[in-house]
Amino acid sequence: MAERQIKVERVWRSQLSRLALFLVFSPICVWLSNKFPETVISGPLFGFDESVLMLSLPLLWFVPAYFAFSCILTIYDVKYTLDVRGIEAKIGILSLSQSITRIRYEDIRSIDSRQTLSERMLGIGTIEIGTAASAGLEISFEGISNPLDLQKKIQVERDTRLRKAAQKQGGQDFSNIAAAGGE
Amino acid sequence: MSLISPKNFIAPFTNVVNLATIIVVALLFLIYRLSGGGVAMSSRKAPPQTNREATVKEAPVTKVAPVEKRQETQEAQAAAARSLHPSADNSAIDDLLDRKPSNDNKKQNSPSNPGGSSLDDIAKQLGVE
């Protein structure tokens, strides 16, 4: 039976600066490529039988392409997941090295949210989760939408889990005391 | 086909992040095309694999030249022959065939060069003229 998972994604609004550069350089690239045709290089790519695949590559196209691909890489390189057991952060999915950090709701000690002025206007931000295991931060959710709502939900879930654990522990303690008193 | 669900095809367009990614990639491709980029198939000029193929391909071209050259040489020879030996039969025939005004010259030349107007003589003998 598949566990229910909540996937928290990075949003394109978090890459607004690079997206703006992409939109600015795109028409410049088109204009310059048409004005200076020598910047477009052509040549055979590969051949088979009696046919040759010719490729025309505008060199200036790599400028907006760099900004677009950096945005896509930043968004899809991480995966934040909330499920029944805890929180998981996969960082480096499209990179050479990948790190997976997983913590339980009961182990969470602090949940902080950070937003700059522009991020507050766009409704995006960063959530930083710390545990008792380490002095620093364990997981950082960057570039997510509605960080305050997510912070509240994680806090509620953590408090619920701790209350249940305390009730369970308290019930056990009471039964232990009762048993000891009976003796 | 039952394993493929239509939801899997629609899913990328329902998610805002994936939809924005699709739009950005489409824009990138549009910029690539507008900048002059593209891919095209062209036929490769087949190099001469064998000597036979090369000669066959070049044969029509080479055949024409010698014939033309031969014609030119023949004409040059005929002209040279005419200039050197006006009394030659070939020159008389050429004159008959090519230039009519040369008939007067031919008639003038006929008494001195009977060989040159042999056809005229024949015609006279036959009573054609």
Closest residue of chain B to A72, computed from CA coordinates: B21
Of B21, B24, B46, the CB nearest to A50: B46
- B44/A51 CB distance under 8 A: yes
Which residues neighbour A60 within 8 Å (Cβ) at sequence distance 6 or greater? Answer: A28, A29, A32, A33, A39, B35
Q: Cα-atom radius of gyration of chain B, to the nearest Å?
A: 40
Q: Is A59 near chain B, with CB under 8 Å?
A: no
Predicted pLDDT of residue A177: 66
Instruction: Say what the pLDDT of residue B70 is.
Output: 60
Q: What is the pLDDT of residues A140-167, one digit of tens each?
A: 999 999 999 999 999 999 999 889 888 8
A43 contacts in chain B (CB < 8 Å): none
Q: What pLDDT is attached to residue A64?
A: 95
User: What pLDDT does residue A114 have?
Assistant: 93
Task: Report residues of chain A scoring pLDDT below 50.
Answer: 1
**ipTM greater than 0.90, yes or no?**
no
Provide the token pair at A164.
């249940």
pLDDT for A134 equals 73
Chain B residues with CB-CB distance to A50 below 8 A: 43-44, 46
Q: Which of residues 76-115 of A touch B (CB under 8 A)?
A: 76
B2-55 confidence digits (pLDDT tens):
667 888 888 788 888 999 999 999 999 999 999 999 988 887 765 544 444 444
Closest to A11 in 3D by CA, of A62, A66, A80, A63: A80
Lowest mean pLDDT among A13-17, A92-96, B60-64, B73-77: B60-64
B36 and A56 within 8 Å at the Cβ level: the answer is yes
* pLDDT interval class at B109 (50, 70, 90): very low
Question: E strands along B55-109, which residues?
Answer: none
Confirm or reject contact between A121 and chain B (CB < 8 A). no
Residue A183: strand, helix, or coil: coil
Could A56 and B38 be called an inter-chain contact, meaning their C-beta atoms sit closer than 8 Å?
Answer: yes
Cβ(A72)–Cβ(A90) under 8 Å?
no
pLDDT the model gives residue A173: 63
Q: Where are the beta strands (DSSP E) in A34-151?
A: 40-48, 51-58, 78-82, 86-91, 99-104, 108-114, 124-131, 137-145
